[in-house]
Chain A
Amino acid sequence: MAVEHYWAPTSLSDALEHLRGGDVTVLAGGTDLMPQTQAGRVSLERGLLNVRRVAELHRIERVDGAVRIGALCTITEIMRDPLVGEHFAMLADACDHFASDQLRNAATIGGNVCNASPAGDTLVPLLVLDAEAELASKPGARVERRRVPLADFFVGPGRTRRAPDELLCAIRLPLPPPGFVGRFFKFGTRPALDIAAISIGIGGVRDGRTLVQARVAYGAVAAVPLRARRTEAALEGAALDAATADGVAATARDEVRPIDDLRASAWYRKELVFNMTRRILHDVAEA
């Protein structure tokens, strides 16, 4: 379908009014949307809504007990942000493995989240960091907002719980508890310009030889970026020794549900999940 309307509002309120009419495609960085439409995998709706000029979506700010990252913040901006660097190093690390410099300069975190690729590079650390998606809509005169835990946000490849009249405004990350350690690992075949064959995020609070409040997530091993609850349970409070690492890694290998595709077979993905989970746990134990 040909695009009939193009809007580039500067306020959130205006943007949401355009969305309310329905049949609208949202454009932010365009790094997923453009190739997808050109390849014919996504067709543009009648209305094209460029949200890039909505300044209030383009901020990183500290709010009580959390950091709010505006949906329009680019991967480069997040990678270099001091607040992110101080509290969410694993997110900055993931940004440093994201595509190429050119793409990082254009791609936004909101786009990465809404594109909902199981292999999306920022999604695994965001899950480990207990992120929430902040959504806004304007059904009537007022802008209404709601928050959805990211672990519940993804429904399937390219599908989320965002309603058609909603815009993702920000990602909200609670400040991690003291003693929090986090690790991110992305496996691709080369250092840059690659889509993850698998990615792993592990976080928790060091308590002596154990890890508590353990959170584990995997990318590219299921229809959605996966928060691995059974693996977390196996890890929670267990002594960080070789036997635990083996057991947790084996649980993870059972819990993930990868497929065969161009990048890797399901079997190999499971092997990587096992080997690298074990390796990361060892690394955390040594830290």
Chain B
Amino acid sequence: MKVIEKSTLIGKRIAKLDAPEKAAGMTRYVHDLDLPGQLHARILRSTRVHARIKRIDTRRARALAGVHAVLTAADVPYQRPLGVGKDQLPLKGDKVRSLRDEIAAVAADTEAIAEAALALIDVEYEDLPTLTDPADALKPGAPVIHGETLASPAPHDALKPGEPGDAEAHRHNVAMTFDYAQGDLAAGEAESDVIVDDWFRLHYVTHCCMGVSGIIAEFDRSGNLTLHSNTQVPFLHKREFAEILGMDPGRIRIIQPPIGGGFGSKLDIYPFEPICVFLAKATRRPVKLVFSREEEFIASPTRQPVLLRLRSGAKKDGTLTFRDCETLHDNGAYTSWGATTPFVMMQTISSLYRVPHCKYHTTAVYTNNPYAGSFRGYGNLQATFAVEQQIDELAEKLGIDPLEMRLKNAQDPGEITPQGMHFQTCGLKECLRTAAEVSDYRARHAAALAAQHSPQRYKRGVGMASMLHVGGGAKIYPSDGCGTILKIDDFAHVTLITGASEIGQGSETVLAQLVCEELGIPLDTVSVVNNDTDITPWDVGVHASRTTFIGGNSAIGAARKAKAKVLAAAAKTTGIPEAELELRAGHIVRTATGEALVSLAKLLRSLHFSDKAELVMTTFYYEPPSKHQDKSFKGDVSAAYAWATQVVEVEVDTDTGVVRLLKVTGAHDVGRVLNRLGIEGQIEGGIVMGQGYAITEDLMVDGGVVRNPGFRDYKLVTAPEIPEMEVRFIETMDGEGPQGAKGVGEAPAICIAAATANAICNATGVRIRELPFTPEKVYRALHRAGVPAGPTGGD
């Protein structure tokens, strides 16, 4: 008798399915794709920050040999506004509002010819007064960025949160506003024994995806459009493209080649995408448009810069009483997802720790600066930076240990916050205790406090911060679901066809793993198809840390249906009741003994080639049980919530202001570890992204001009700077999650800046409320605070 023991893939270290191709340099990104007859496109962008376009002369460019089309707004009368705010046309005809603005586009035989043609386009501008400091936007007499009425957008579902400013608001440079309140702020203030009140300033950073933006557009002779696109939201984009192009969405097919990084940057539709379609339409040829790296820095979205004022109060015993938060978002010239980050920020203000009374307000104002999009963490890095610094400030004022202060106010499982978030599972207290214990937080914190005034050149300190983020999708759209089609062939090879996109995060691997776990088959017998809207079922897109949770539950649903079919057939064949059968290692086994009864392949063939002639093919659509928020932003918007605490240990060089991260200890409530290798990589990568945000990365925007559009002066973290990392997983086994897991794609990046700020303060006694912590900024802060550079010989 052949016996097969029960085994599981859950929690194992599984290499990403696409790793061998990527490691060998064989992955074909959009940059590597070339279609027969394809032309190459380049875009002419504004050289002015704010100006009226008086005249565009493309005659010389059109005359250049090898040029097939030169388009300006005048050539595309049918273009319609795009993006979250529907406040820009792809090609600008009347005026430019930022340096990235698209004025003309060229399709030519080669990229070099297209580039040469750009230089032959003459644009005459009439400069307008510029508005590049968001603090000036609301002042009387400020230049108006969007005074004119745009072509009205096509009818559109209310997909977007927040209150988009109307034409009247636009005339005052207001793009969007958000207001949220819970409890009674005045009562909260009255019962406070201490109150802290600070301004925080969060800067521009950008995604720096290894693969720059790119798209290929082609029409067939029946007018069907195929886009080879890096989008993170293919099904939403079908609709958006249809709207902008005045097309039937059914005629648009989006194929995603492997995507060289997304991190939120590919959630909105950007002008270059329809522009490429315009060129394909004009030339009747496939057209490819790929950004240069400099263009990627200038014309792809940034993280939302925020000026934030936070007031927080607490009672003597450390109980939090209220939070009052007001932010000014620099919207830039146009409205993308960055303006809507308050949706996440207010969750952190209202529900990261128990706070009875809260008020939150955001005004997003138009300026002539670059515009911000969504970026891993989606406003949460900004909000957490303020909230977690003030927890330390309050603790210090009250003479309470910062860990105790957090534990005192931390949520418990089962809690429903005033904003309506229901924490079915909540590992925050365990995260706090674990991170503190593993990092030896208390002892190190106390030692650093004692050594704060010693004359050493190098000072060490530890800082702690926690975070709360959606971990079970986010119900922003009418549906937050994902569809799956699953088929098993005659050889027991499974094809998993999922709506969930792979953008490098490892979703295809974890989805394959979940299917294998259900069907008891090895990983190398699964293929994943996930990149073609003509084939895959609908999914809302890769955002909100949702793919493992939503796509996972969808895949499991389809796999369970397949399993039920197989076991029913096996019961008939073997005469053993279904309830006593299981699938293990590609066989049907008797559960009690592990006895292998028949191989899955053989059973499937007998099902196929019998008089029943049946193939095993199943479908499943998973919609999470989350709720839309009401008009006051209240509601249980996610099916699960992820938690984490991170402790950062820093060394500050008082001679230079250099801050070095020595160690990051993370404790993450991930629900359950599915692919250990995958989640370790995701957490470590997120920590390093958080480190870049905290210390090195700074997109310098000066008068609307990006001063450092290249990796020489935009400093990503390099390998020697990466700290030691120790990550612990808190497994709270979420009841709704796939195998108990929660989504944690964004979580690891969120706390680092806040924890680093607290660590610098612990080391030096100086609190810095402005990012990034570059050497000069830190040195200035130390200098202003009277912290001397280390005396010679002091160390």
Chain A interface (Cβ < 8 Å from any Cβ of B): 187, 189-195, 242, 245-246, 262-265, 268, 271-272, 275-276, 278-279, 281-282, 286
In the complex, the chain B residue whose C-beta lies closest to that of A198 is: B656
B775 touches A189 (CB 8 A): yes
Contacts of A281 in B (CB 8 A): 792
Contacts of B658 in A (CB 8 A): 189
Does residue B524 face the partner (Cβ distance < 8 Å to A)? Answer: no
Partner of B792, one of A191, A195, A282: A282
A263 touches B713 (CB 8 A): yes
Does residue B696 face the partner (Cβ distance < 8 Å to A)? Answer: yes
In the complex, the chain B residue whose C-beta lies closest to that of A195 is: B712
In the complex, the chain A residue whose C-beta lies closest to that of B657 is: A268
Does residue B789 face the partner (Cβ distance < 8 Å to A)? Answer: yes
Contacts of B707 in A (CB 8 A): 262
Contacts of A264 in B (CB 8 A): 776
Contacts of A193 in B (CB 8 A): 718
Nearest 10 CB-CB pairs, A to B?
A282-B792, A275-B655, A191-B720, A268-B776, A275-B789, A262-B713, A278-B792, A242-B792, A190-B718, A245-B792
Does residue B700 face the partner (Cβ distance < 8 Å to A)? Answer: yes
Given known contacts A189-B774, A190-B696, A192-B720, is B655 in contact with A276 (CB within 8 Å)?
A: yes
Contacts of A194 in B (CB 8 A): 715
Would you mind naming 17 contact pairs between A and B with Cβ atoms under 8 Å apart? A189-B658, A189-B696, A189-B774, A190-B696, A192-B720, A193-B718, A262-B708, A262-B713, A268-B780, A272-B656, A275-B655, A275-B789, A276-B656, A278-B792, A279-B457, A282-B792, A282-B793
A262 touches B700 (CB 8 A): yes
Does residue B779 face the partner (Cβ distance < 8 Å to A)? Answer: yes
Question: How distant is A130 from chain B, measured CB to nearest CB, in Å?
Answer: 27
With the chains together, A271 CA to B707 CA distance in Å?
24
A192 touches B656 (CB 8 A): no
Does residue B721 face the partner (Cβ distance < 8 Å to A)? Answer: yes
Contacts of B700 in A (CB 8 A): 262
Which B638-668 residues have C-beta < 8 A from chain A? Answer: 655-656, 658
Given known contacts A191-B718, A192-B718, A276-B656, is B779 in contact with A242 (CB within 8 Å)?
A: no
Contacts of B790 in A (CB 8 A): 275, 279
Question: How distant is A239 from chain B, measured CB to nearest CB, in Å?
Answer: 14
With the chains together, A271 CA to B780 CA distance in Å?
10
In the complex, the chain A residue whose C-beta lies closest to that of B719 is: A192
With the chains together, A166 CA to B656 CA distance in Å?
41
A271 touches B779 (CB 8 A): yes
Question: How distant is A262 from chain B, measured CB to nearest CB, in Å?
Answer: 5
Given known contacts A189-B715, A191-B718, A262-B700, is B775 in contact with A279 (CB within 8 Å)?
A: no
Partner of B793, one of A242, A263, A265, A271: A242
Question: How distant is A260 from chain B, measured CB to nearest CB, in Å?
Answer: 11
With the chains together, A275 CA to B715 CA distance in Å?
24
Contacts of A192 in B (CB 8 A): 718, 720
Partner of B779, one of A190, A268, A278: A268
A191 touches B776 (CB 8 A): no
Contacts of A262 in B (CB 8 A): 700, 707-708, 713
- Total residues of chain B contacting the partner, CB 8 A: 25
Question: How distant is A178 from chain B, measured CB to nearest CB, in Å?
Answer: 27
Which B696-735 residues have C-beta < 8 A from chain A? Answer: 696, 700, 707-708, 712-713, 715, 717-718, 720-721
In the complex, the chain B residue whose C-beta lies closest to that of A245 is: B792
With the chains together, A278 CA to B655 CA distance in Å?
10
Q: A189-B774, A275-B789 are in contact. List 6 more A-B contacts (CB 8 A).
A: A189-B658, A189-B696, A191-B720, A194-B715, A275-B656, A281-B792
Contacts of A286 in B (CB 8 A): 793
Question: How distant is A21 from chain B, measured CB to nearest CB, in Å?
Answer: 29
Scoring B residues 501 to 512 as 1 if CB is less than 8 Å from chain A, else 0, what string do you get?
A: 000000000000
With the chains together, A275 CA to B738 CA distance in Å?
56
Question: How distant is B549 from chain A, measured CB to nearest CB, in Å?
Answer: 36
A190 touches B720 (CB 8 A): yes
Scoring B residues 437 to 476 as 1 if CB is less than 8 Å from chain A, else 0, what string do you get?
A: 0000000000000000000010000000000000000000
With the chains together, A262 CA to B708 CA distance in Å?
8
Which B781-795 residues have C-beta < 8 A from chain A? Answer: 783, 789-790, 792-793
In the complex, the chain A residue whose C-beta lies closest to that of B457 is: A279
Question: How distant is B716 from chain A, measured CB to nearest CB, in Å?
Answer: 9
Contacts of A272 in B (CB 8 A): 656
Question: How distant is A115 from chain B, measured CB to nearest CB, in Å?
Answer: 15
Contacts of B717 in A (CB 8 A): 190
With the chains together, A190 CA to B695 CA distance in Å?
11
Contacts of B655 in A (CB 8 A): 275-276, 279
In the complex, the chain A residue whose C-beta lies closest to that of B776 is: A268
Which B212-260 residues have C-beta < 8 A from chain A? Answer: none
Scoring B residues 319 to 355 as 1 if CB is less than 8 Å from chain A, else 0, what string do you get?
A: 0000000000000000000000000000000000000
Question: How distant is B787 from chain A, measured CB to nearest CB, in Å?
Answer: 13
B793 touches A187 (CB 8 A): no
With the chains together, A31 CA to B789 CA distance in Å?
37
Contacts of A246 in B (CB 8 A): 792
With the chains together, A210 CA to B721 CA distance in Å?
37
In the complex, the chain A residue whose C-beta lies closest to that of B715 is: A189
Partner of B721, one of A190, A242, A275, A279: A190
In the complex, the chain B residue whose C-beta lies closest to that of A265 is: B776
Contacts of B774 in A (CB 8 A): 189
With the chains together, A246 CA to B792 CA distance in Å?
9
Question: How distant is A83 from chain B, measured CB to nearest CB, in Å?
Answer: 29
In the complex, the chain B residue whose C-beta lies closest to that of A283 is: B792
Contacts of A271 in B (CB 8 A): 779, 783, 789
With the chains together, A226 CA to B234 CA distance in Å?
57
With the chains together, A275 CA to B696 CA distance in Å?
22
With the chains together, A268 CA to B776 CA distance in Å?
7
B656 touches A187 (CB 8 A): yes
Question: How distant is B188 from chain A, measured CB to nearest CB, in Å?
Answer: 42
In the complex, the chain A residue whose C-beta lies closest to that of B653 is: A275
Contacts of A279 in B (CB 8 A): 457, 655, 790, 792
In the complex, the chain B residue whose C-beta lies closest to that of A194 is: B715
Question: How distant is A192 from chain B, measured CB to nearest CB, in Å?
Answer: 6
Question: How distant is B21 from chain A, measured CB to nearest CB, in Å?
Answer: 24
Question: How distant is B173 from chain A, measured CB to nearest CB, in Å?
Answer: 29
With the chains together, A85 CA to B792 CA distance in Å?
28
With the chains together, A286 CA to B789 CA distance in Å?
19
Question: How distant is B252 from chain A, measured CB to nearest CB, in Å?
Answer: 37
Question: How distant is B695 from chain A, measured CB to nearest CB, in Å?
Answer: 9
Contacts of B775 in A (CB 8 A): 189, 268
Question: How distant is A43 from chain B, measured CB to nearest CB, in Å?
Answer: 14
Question: How distant is B784 from chain A, measured CB to nearest CB, in Å?
Answer: 12
Contacts of B780 in A (CB 8 A): 268
Question: How distant is A107 from chain B, measured CB to nearest CB, in Å?
Answer: 15
Question: How distant is B499 from chain A, measured CB to nearest CB, in Å?
Answer: 40
With the chains together, A187 CA to B658 CA distance in Å?
10
Contacts of B779 in A (CB 8 A): 268, 271
With the chains together, A286 CA to B774 CA distance in Å?
31
Question: How distant is A120 from chain B, measured CB to nearest CB, in Å?
Answer: 15
Contacts of B718 in A (CB 8 A): 190-193
B715 touches A190 (CB 8 A): yes
With the chains together, A191 CA to B712 CA distance in Å?
13
In the complex, the chain A residue whose C-beta lies closest to that of B791 is: A242
With the chains together, A242 CA to B793 CA distance in Å?
9
Contacts of B783 in A (CB 8 A): 271
With the chains together, A193 CA to B717 CA distance in Å?
11
Contacts of B715 in A (CB 8 A): 189-190, 194
Scoring B residues 750 to 777 as 1 if CB is less than 8 Å from chain A, else 0, what string do you get?
A: 0000000000000000000000001110
With the chains together, A194 CA to B721 CA distance in Å?
13
Which B558-614 residues have C-beta < 8 A from chain A? Answer: none
With the chains together, A265 CA to B720 CA distance in Å?
26
Question: How distant is B719 from chain A, measured CB to nearest CB, in Å?
Answer: 9
Which B604-637 residues have C-beta < 8 A from chain A? Answer: none
In the complex, the chain B residue whose C-beta lies closest to that of A276 is: B655
Scoring B residues 103 to 117 as 1 if CB is less than 8 Å from chain A, else 0, what string do you get?
A: 000000000000000
With the chains together, A192 CA to B696 CA distance in Å?
13
